[in-house]
Structure 1
Amino acid sequence: MPDQIVLLDAPGDVSQFRLQEQPSVSPGPGEVKIRHQAVGTNFLDIYHRKGLYALPAYPAVIGVEAAGVVEAIGADVSGFKPGDRVAYGGPPAGAYASTRIIAAERVIALPDAVSAKVAASSLLKGMTAYMLLKKVSNVGQGSTVLIHAAAGGLGSILVRWAKSLGATVIGTVSSPEKAALATSYGADHLIIGRGADIVAEVKRLTGGNGVDVAYDGIGGDMLLKSIRAVRPFGTAITIGQAAGPIPPVAVEELRPGKSLSHPSIMAWCADIGRYREAAEAAIAAMERGIVCEIAAEYGLADVAKAHEEMETGRSAGSILLVP
């Protein structure tokens, strides 16, 4: 089968995807050509597809993480050779393809213990978890955290990593089935159901205090609930809006002394030093079993189905594209 690439002709729904044969190109100076074995998908890809986060030009290629094998290296590249197992995550987008040429400084070597599929499903989420747990906040022994969508891709890694740091984890999930999964990842308490009174439950579970940190990737009216579930001088962190745009929040909701943070892993990874620090931490975490479960796999030709499944929110875990 010839190599393939998925083009996005314009912002919009999945009908804007177009699969075509990928021409063969050699890497230039400082570049590496990777043959993808697995391409990770993230809700960020949906934001890119819909145009919520603008891309420089169209047709465009989306996707921000993948893993595979080095096929060729350009001049001035050291530390890599054809056949090496590698991965990458973060900007610039362009992973939905059989192969990719990318700057060598963004390529991370994979240890034998981490498969290409695990790396592609967990690298960007692991980097995000590292940023959220250790840089935006500093979770450790004795911390109490609230993690929304605790059985999802990022949520599952956050649960496992927070527990490894000694935190007490309160998770929210939409169903008993997802509650069972989140419990298996280490969550101490689960709030189940989309109609649950999250603020009241958090206050009950924390003796009326609230959590030290709340991680909200749901958006919509969940951010206000997250702020109200945080203790005085705690932090609410918004990292996405899977449920829709976030309504305006009155600054008075931050009294007394609560903090609100809106970090971006793509902005974090734009700095190569921060990127490599987070990527190496994420891979070390994968070696310890802090990974995202793989919920489904699709070929590049079925990218529309992969996006439709991701948007339903039914999958507990990450969805891979396998060229």
Structure 2
Amino acid sequence: MQQTARTVVIHEHGGPEVLKIGDRPLGDPGPGEVRIRHRACGLNFIDVYQRTGLYPMDLPHALGMEAAGLIEAVGEGVTHLKPGQRAAYAAAPAGAYCEARVMPAAQVCPLSEGISFDAAAAMMLKGMTVEYLFHRTTPLKRGDTVLFHAAAGGVGLIACQWAKSEGITLIGTAGTDEKCSLAQFNGAAHCINYRTENFAERVAEITGGKGVDVVMDSIGADTFNGSLDCLKPLGMMISFGNASGPVPLMDIGILGKKGSLKITRPTLFTHIADPSVCQAMARRLFGKVEGGEVKIHIDQRFPLDQVAEAHRVLEARQTTGSTVLEP
């Protein structure tokens, strides 16, 4: 009898109501593949972008980009994983919202006993995003100053701790005083409530009018122009998300007028396309967590069959830290 696995699939783009759960066939892994049985699945804004069609997908398609669990079987040519081994991943193609799946093995990473399945599922995409932001996008050194939007979210809380561990001054933004306090507790030197203060003006005050070396902005439309105003001359704008909608079209000449600024729009999946780079990024992240420099905050948990509600809460910006789905 063929195995099946409960899986979240969309048949059309739209709101949380398009998320449907059903049984899908679960076969054996082919060459270069593994079959993994999930213990926890992560929730990320990229899942929302794919669900709504901002990032179009061929439909029907399963959703979810990160999870952790046990390897059940490996295909021909897979040497870094074996049956029974703990593993975690953030990887394409989407399909992590499920009990188990067959998937390419290259970006699946061995997981040590020192990290729980929940923590691993909550941190792979977010934590490796922070790794590339701080180590692969533009040179950062001790003493530099960074503005980080959504500092109390899943990526943000990791970034606050990461910055503190490397002597980088992080100025965060968040939407409530409580979220600002959380970001500062986790290492942000300052945190600005963007609902009650003009964050660009406040950054100017904090930096004595100098501005910051780097802005890391996952919000998009609502913050983009203000973020540019926060940079010092020759500063770097890293736009890595669209939580409030896509960044509007811009005249590139504005970068020169504002001080010869630089701008980039990176993605995690470009960085992890090389399997050796992916594994190295995961090892650095695991080292931060096992060494106690970064703690993973899981502030929301939902059963897999409540995935639509999880999406609603995430989109309403009512979450802090990371959210885990329980298969």
On whether the aligned pair clears a TM of 0.5, the verdict is yes
Q: CA deviation at 1:65?
A: 0.7
- 1:51 is matched with 53
- 1:16 is matched with 18
- 1:295 is matched with 299
**Mapped partners of 1:110, 1:70: distance in 2:** 11
- 2:323 is matched with 319
- 1:28 is matched with 30
Query: After the TM superposition, which parts of structure 1 deviate over 4 Å for at least 4 consecutive aligned residues?
Result: none
**Mapped partners of 1:118, 1:316: distance in 2:** 15
One of 263, 271, 280 as aligned partner of 1:268: 271
Comparing 180-189 and 273-282, the one that deviates more: 273-282
Q: Deviations over 1:83-139 (max 9, x none)?
A: 211001122211111001122222211111111110110111111111111111222
**Mapped partners of 1:76, 1:268: distance in 2:** 23
**Mapped partners of 2:87, 2:98: distance in 1:** 16
C-alpha contact 2:163 2:187 (8 A) present in aligned 1: no
**Mapped partners of 2:222, 2:26: distance in 1:** 47
**Mapped partners of 1:30, 1:135: distance in 2:** 27
**Mapped partners of 1:75, 1:169: distance in 2:** 45
Q: CA deviation at 1:195?
A: 4.1
Q: Deviations over 1:59-80 (max 9, x none)?
A: 1011111000111222333343
Q: Deviations over 1:208-242 (max 9, x none)?
A: 10000011111113111111101001111111111
Q: Deviations over 1:185-216 (max 9, x none)?
A: 11111112324111111111111100000111
- 1:42 is matched with 44
C-alpha contact 1:67 1:86 (8 A) present in aligned 2: yes
C-alpha contact 2:26 2:102 (8 A) present in aligned 1: no
Look up the SS of the partner of 2:141 in the other structure: coil
Q: CA deviation at 1:274?
A: 2.6
Comparing 20-29 and 135-144, the one that deviates more: 20-29
1:195–1:247 distance in 2 versus 1, CA, 3 Å? farther
1:244–1:30 distance in 2 versus 1, CA, 3 Å? closer
**Mapped partners of 1:127, 1:297: distance in 2:** 21
Q: CA deviation at 1:142?
A: 0.9
Comparing 227-236 and 265-274, the one that deviates more: 265-274
Aligned residue type for 2:56: A
- 1:140 is matched with 141
Aligned residue type for 2:193: I
- 2:228 is matched with 227
- 2:192 is matched with 191
Q: Deviations over 1:117-169 (max 9, x none)?
A: 10110111111111111111222211011111111111111111111111111
Matches within 5 A, 1:247-286: 247-255=248-256, 256-286=259-289
Q: Deviations over 1:36-58 (max 9, x none)?
A: 00011110000010111122x21
**Mapped partners of 1:253, 1:264: distance in 2:** 24
C-alpha contact 2:91 2:108 (8 A) present in aligned 1: no
- 2:311 is matched with 307
C-alpha contact 1:63 1:93 (8 A) present in aligned 2: yes
Aligned residue type for 1:150: A
Look up the SS of the partner of 1:225 in the other structure: helix
C-alpha contact 2:5 2:101 (8 A) present in aligned 1: no
Q: Deviations over 1:239-282 (max 9, x none)?
A: 11111232233334313211111111122222323322222222
Look up the SS of the partner of 1:154 in the other structure: helix
C-alpha contact 2:80 2:110 (8 A) present in aligned 1: no
Aligned residue type for 2:299: A
C-alpha contact 1:29 1:75 (8 A) present in aligned 2: yes
Look up the SS of the partner of 1:270 in the other structure: coil
Gap runs ≥5 in structure 2? none
Aligned residue type for 1:161: W
What percent of counterpart residues are identical? 39
Look up the SS of the partner of 2:183 in the other structure: helix
Aligned residue type for 2:34: V
Say how many residue pairs are matched.
321
